[in-house]
Amino acid sequence: MKNIVTCENICKSYSVPQADDLVVLKDINWEMQTGKLVAICGQSGCGKSTFMNILGLLDRQSSGKLIIDGVTFESTRDNKLLATYRAQKIGFIFQQHHLLPELTALQNVMAAQLIRGKNQTDAKRDAEFILEKLFHKEEIASGVYNRHPGKMSGGQCQRVAIARALVGTPPLVLADEPTGNLDENTSKQVFDLFLGLQKELGISVVMVTHNPNQAAQADLSYFICNQTIERYE
């Protein structure tokens, strides 16, 4: 099985005025196979978000090489190229749903495909396909697709956010505490739906989580500590 992500000697540091550079990640050599769900764990401030931002092309490594789906990204990058690649190839799920309030649930999901160049008909078909995997028939019959985020529950909004990230089965999805803003019962329900859909579609997911139960359901778990990443047993 091929790798969807490969990190070769990734380092990340930040300049600090009148002090030594702040080293966050050092010599990260890591790889992830296609179709897996991988959990990234660690204490607050350990570098999890920095690592995810590098994988998502939202931040640049200070040195080293990042390879995503066969495309190599060095520390020097073209910002326009990165933005285009992110839109086409990477889905994002955040703790907060970040849905566009002026759009309906269906339109929020369609937007991801329209950005990728799909026409309205195909974008609507793709959005409905993925939403049907995440919403119950009763919710669909009640018109949930046509509601704006302000008229939906937190769990419903997060399911729409998940649908937006997974629509079109992008090569890589990055999930940062994907249910961390929900109560325990809703979190479990939403995560179970997410996990089932990830397995069904074979989507590669890197997930940051503090939830030990969610980490235990990942194919592999890793722990970031002391500026490096290690397998978590």
User: b/e string for 110-148 if b means 16 or more Cβ within 10 A?
Assistant: bbbbeebebeeeebbebbbebbebbbeeebeeeebbebb
Query: Given this model, what pLDDT does residue 233 score?
Result: 66
CA-to-CA distance for 9 and 29, rounded, in angstroms? 5
Q: Does the pLDDT value for residue 199 go beyond 80?
A: yes
Chain segment 163-177, per-residue pLDDT in tens: 999 999 999 999 999
What's CA 20's distance to the chain center, in Å? 32
Phi/psi at 40 (nearest 5 deg)? Answer: -115, 120
Dmax (CA) of the chain: 62
Closest CA to 127 of 145, 150, 142: 145
Delimit the domains of the chain by residue range. 3-231
User: Tell me, what's the pLDDT at 123?
Assistant: 98
pLDDT at 96: 87
Report whether pLDDT(17) > 70.
yes
DSSP secondary structure string, 110-174?
HHHHHHTT--HHHHHHHHHHHHHHHS-HHHHHTTGGG--GGGS-HHHHHHHHHHHHHTT--SEEE
pLDDT-based confidence at residue 161 (cuts at 50, 70, 90): very high
- Per-residue pLDDT of 80-139, as tens digits, reads 888 899 999 999 998 888 999 999 999 999 999 999 999 999 999 999 999 999 999 999
Q: Are 71 and 21 in contact (CB under 8 A)?
A: no
- Please name the helix (run of DSSP H) or strand (run of DSSP E) that holds residue 194, with its range, or none: helix 184-201
More confident residue, 96 or 162: 162
Give the model's pLDDT for residue 163.
Answer: 96
**Strands of the 204-208 sheet, one edge to the other:** 90-93, 172-176, 204-208, 37-41, 220-225, 228-231
pLDDT at 25 > cutoff 90: yes
- pLDDT beyond 80 at 15: yes
Is 3.50.50.60 the CATH classification of the domain at 3-231? Answer: no
pLDDT at 78: 80
Residue 14 CA, distance from chain mean position: 24
Burial 184-218 (b: 16+ CB within 10 A, else e): eebbeebbebbbebbeeeebbbbbbbebeebbebb
CB 231 within 8 Å of CB 220:
yes
Q: Report pLDDT for 1.
A: 74
H-type alpha helices, 9-119: 48-55, 79-89, 105-115
Percent of the chain with pLDDT over 90: 80
Average pLDDT, the chain: 93
Structure tokens at 193: 């739906």
Q: What is the pLDDT of residue 99?
A: 96
Predicted confidence (pLDDT) per residue in 53-89, tens digit: 999 999 999 999 999 999 999 887 788 888 899 999 9
Question: What is the structure's pLDDT at 218?
Answer: 95
